[in-house]
A and B are shown apart, each in its own frame.
Chain A
């Protein structure tokens, strides 16, 4: 009986800790998103960093990590943005958000006039996902970033287009 009590207490403690962490992550995430909505991008960036540091297993980490690269990109700090998106691609290679990061990297390489990098990222984008179109001729993927920008990937047989807030950001031939 004693063992059962101890075990249930331990289990309760474990659940309590994760619940606390989950709620803390939600709070931090909500705070960061709120700051982003208010246009306080610098504070929002720090808050997203906090989500990554304080709650590394939170489901918000993917978007928070993406927001790191997005912040530097919006700041026009292309070099740091590139580093962050490379980290993101390395960390989440099997998520479609990684393709969005790759497209950002292509755009950055294009702005920095680094044709070799463009070629490398284009090649990675082309082999990122195998697409099969039977009855439809395009596929979609939507992602709302930490800075509340609506990202939409539109896949075709021979190209991928990325729209940000409804505007064509860039397209990549496959």
Chain B
């Protein structure tokens, strides 16, 4: 009896349990069915509305409600504005009601996404800035991004975990084989503080400490400090979010200072500013930069004015349409290939920069051609430099219809030969090979032709500005007749203007010594002179070449 009662109660209990389960299951299935039935059109409508609102198209293959608290979308695609190819896609997106979003199998077309963000980023930012809930977690696993677009090159794998939690945030991400990022911080009202570290290929950025204040469209980067491979970097700046992104910032790094202004354009960020390093000051305009494969920095600069000094000599170099590829061999060594327009000519070469210690070591070589010398000719040649120790510049110069007025050499010749016309030479053709090696400056195979004279020879200046020069000069009859000395010469030697006048120069650039070298002309003159007349002329010339008048205060200071 007892047994019968027990069985009866037991079966009764199970019967109700099963019934409850069946009813619950039926209700759950009905709910699930109803939710899924309603969810698909709602999701499609929402996707269409968002797509229309932000000039994109959002598609998904299926959407399912997953009991009890998540919605799963499969094969989600967000298309670029041309609606032809997806810029973002994910094989599975799980949205939880507790603000958890998990994305699996994400693929990003980076150039397309960047392009989209340039145009619609501000709009998205404006719509969503009030929306972020206080707590949210975004988890991306098995992600891939295509740095050069979906159709170009291999993707780079990445994963990411982003958390926002009541005034604090943390972000952890990793990409490629050796790159990762860890940032964390807090925000309060309009102020954000963050710290963290980043490993990027061969670069390690540690001790990141930043603070910015964002009020309306104004973002002020109050401070940002970090160490880049052991070298401290400090930055501050001001950003403005209007229709386009704008910023102005100061960055100091390895005894260099960079001040720039940047704004966003359809092509990307465009910079202008100044860069001060060691003995150089660079002012650039319309600079655009992009990094390829993490180790090739490509720069395009429309205009750059560079002022620099080597061995105390100041140089000024205006460059246009400069293209530079900076191969970041390792963090302290940069291999730079550059090409630029200079004075309507072209310059191209390679520079190897070692920034491991101050002063930076610079090695470079290259060529320049077709450089317009103020409309009077073309300059072409090669350069080889090793700064700060050495600089070598070799090449050739060819000037046409040039005007030369009042140079030291001209003034000296005009005075010594008593030919005032030599002080102002016009319509001259000049050609020469040149070498600048440190402080040595050399002109070889120098040829200078004008209507009134032809000069050929060489002219060297040593490190102490001392001259060494040998030349052959042939005057026109007209120019020779201008000088009392020349008229005397014409009187002595018939057709004197047809014979070259050979001479050497030496000594101080501003007080050059002169010697009339042995030559057929000199022999012909001597045939007409007695020895005592030669000596008399030499004595008169000696009297003419006065001693230097030295002011005692400028002379060697005693003891």
Chain A residues within 8 Å of B, Cβ to Cβ: 83, 86-87, 89-91, 93-94, 96, 105, 119-124, 126-137, 139, 157-158, 173-174
* Cα–Cα distance between A173 and B513 once the two chains are bound (Å): 12
Nearest 7 pairs of A and B residues by beta carbon: A93-B550, A127-B508, A135-B534, A158-B506, A133-B515, A157-B515, A131-B513
Q: Does B200 contact A (CB under 8 A)?
A: no
* Residue from B507, B510, B541, B556 in contact with A86 in the complex, judged by beta carbons closer than 8 Å: B556
Complex contact A129–B545 (CB within 8 A): yes
* Cα–Cα distance between A128 and B504 once the two chains are bound (Å): 18
Distance to closest chain A CB from B502 (angstroms): 12
Interface size class of B (residues with CB under 8 A): 35 or more
Complex contact B558–A134 (CB within 8 A): no
Distance to closest chain B CB from A103 (angstroms): 13
Contacts of B466 in A (CB 8 A): 123, 126, 173-174
Complex contact A124–B556 (CB within 8 A): yes
Complex contact B468–A130 (CB within 8 A): no
* Minimal Cβ-Cβ distance residue in A for B531: A135
Complex contact A126–B507 (CB within 8 A): yes
* Cα–Cα distance between A90 and B555 once the two chains are bound (Å): 6
Contacts of B465 in A (CB 8 A): 123
Complex contact B416–A83 (CB within 8 A): no
Complex contact A137–B515 (CB within 8 A): yes
Complex contact A128–B548 (CB within 8 A): yes
Contacts of B507 in A (CB 8 A): 126-127, 130-131, 158, 174
Q: Which of B532-559 contact A (CB under 8 A)?
A: 534-535, 537-538, 541-542, 544-550, 552, 555-559
Distance to closest chain A CB from B419 (angstroms): 15
Distance to closest chain B CB from A119 (angstroms): 6
Complex contact A86–B558 (CB within 8 A): yes
Complex contact A91–B512 (CB within 8 A): no
Contacts of A126 in B (CB 8 A): 464, 466, 507-508
Contacts of B538 in A (CB 8 A): 133-136
Complex contact B542–A139 (CB within 8 A): yes
Complex contact A158–B513 (CB within 8 A): yes
Distance to closest chain A CB from B559 (angstroms): 5
* Cα–Cα distance between A120 and B558 once the two chains are bound (Å): 14
24 residue pairs of the A-B complex, CB under 8 angstroms, read A83-B558, A93-B549, A93-B555, A94-B549, A120-B556, A123-B465, A123-B466, A123-B508, A126-B464, A130-B545, A131-B513, A132-B513, A132-B544, A133-B515, A134-B534, A135-B529, A135-B537, A157-B515, A158-B468, A158-B504, A158-B507, A173-B466, A174-B466, A174-B508
* Residue from A105, A134, A135, A173 in contact with B556 in the complex, judged by beta carbons closer than 8 Å: A105
Interface centre among A83, A93, A123 (most CB of B within 10 A): A93
Q: Does B526 contact A (CB under 8 A)?
A: yes
Count A-B pairs with CB separation below 8 Å.
108
Complex contact B506–A83 (CB within 8 A): no
* Residue from B504, B511, B537 in contact with A130 in the complex, judged by beta carbons closer than 8 Å: B511
* Cα–Cα distance between A122 and B466 once the two chains are bound (Å): 10
Contacts of B547 in A (CB 8 A): 94, 96, 128-129
Chain B residues within 8 Å of A, Cβ to Cβ: 416, 464-466, 468, 504, 506-508, 510-516, 526, 529, 534-535, 537-538, 541-542, 544-550, 552, 555-559
* Residue from A86, A123, A128, A135 in contact with B464 in the complex, judged by beta carbons closer than 8 Å: A123
| Given A130-B507, A135-B535, A136-B538: 19 more A-B contacts, CB < 8 Å | A90-B557, A93-B548, A93-B552, A105-B556, A122-B464, A126-B508, A127-B548, A129-B545, A130-B508, A130-B512, A131-B545, A132-B416, A133-B514, A134-B516, A135-B529, A136-B535, A137-B515, A157-B504, A157-B515
* Minimal Cβ-Cβ distance residue in B for A136: B538
* Minimal Cβ-Cβ distance residue in A for B555: A90
Contacts A86-B557, A93-B552: A127 and B510 contacting too (C-beta < 8 A)? yes
* Minimal Cβ-Cβ distance residue in A for B464: A123
* Residue from B464, B545, B552 in contact with A132 in the complex, judged by beta carbons closer than 8 Å: B545
Contacts of B535 in A (CB 8 A): 135-136
Contacts A126-B464, A126-B466: A94 and B550 contacting too (C-beta < 8 A)? yes
* Minimal Cβ-Cβ distance residue in A for B485: A134
Contacts of B541 in A (CB 8 A): 132, 134
* Residue from A121, A124, A130 in contact with B513 in the complex, judged by beta carbons closer than 8 Å: A130
Contacts of A157 in B (CB 8 A): 504, 506, 513-515
Interface centre among B464, B504, B508, B535 (most CB of A within 10 A): B508
Complex contact A86–B548 (CB within 8 A): no
* Cα–Cα distance between A21 and B498 once the two chains are bound (Å): 63
Contacts of A124 in B (CB 8 A): 556
* Cα–Cα distance between A93 and B416 once the two chains are bound (Å): 24
Complex contact B513–A135 (CB within 8 A): no
Complex contact B552–A133 (CB within 8 A): no
* Cα–Cα distance between A135 and B365 once the two chains are bound (Å): 47
* Residue from B506, B526, B559 in contact with A174 in the complex, judged by beta carbons closer than 8 Å: B506
* Minimal Cβ-Cβ distance residue in A for B549: A94
Contacts of A134 in B (CB 8 A): 516, 534, 537-538, 541
* Cα–Cα distance between A119 and B465 once the two chains are bound (Å): 11
Contacts of B504 in A (CB 8 A): 157-158
Distance to closest chain B CB from A143 (angstroms): 15
Contacts of A173 in B (CB 8 A): 466
* Cα–Cα distance between A108 and B559 once the two chains are bound (Å): 14
Contacts of A132 in B (CB 8 A): 416, 513-515, 541-542, 544-545
Contacts of A83 in B (CB 8 A): 558-559
* Minimal Cβ-Cβ distance residue in A for B513: A131
* Minimal Cβ-Cβ distance residue in A for B508: A127
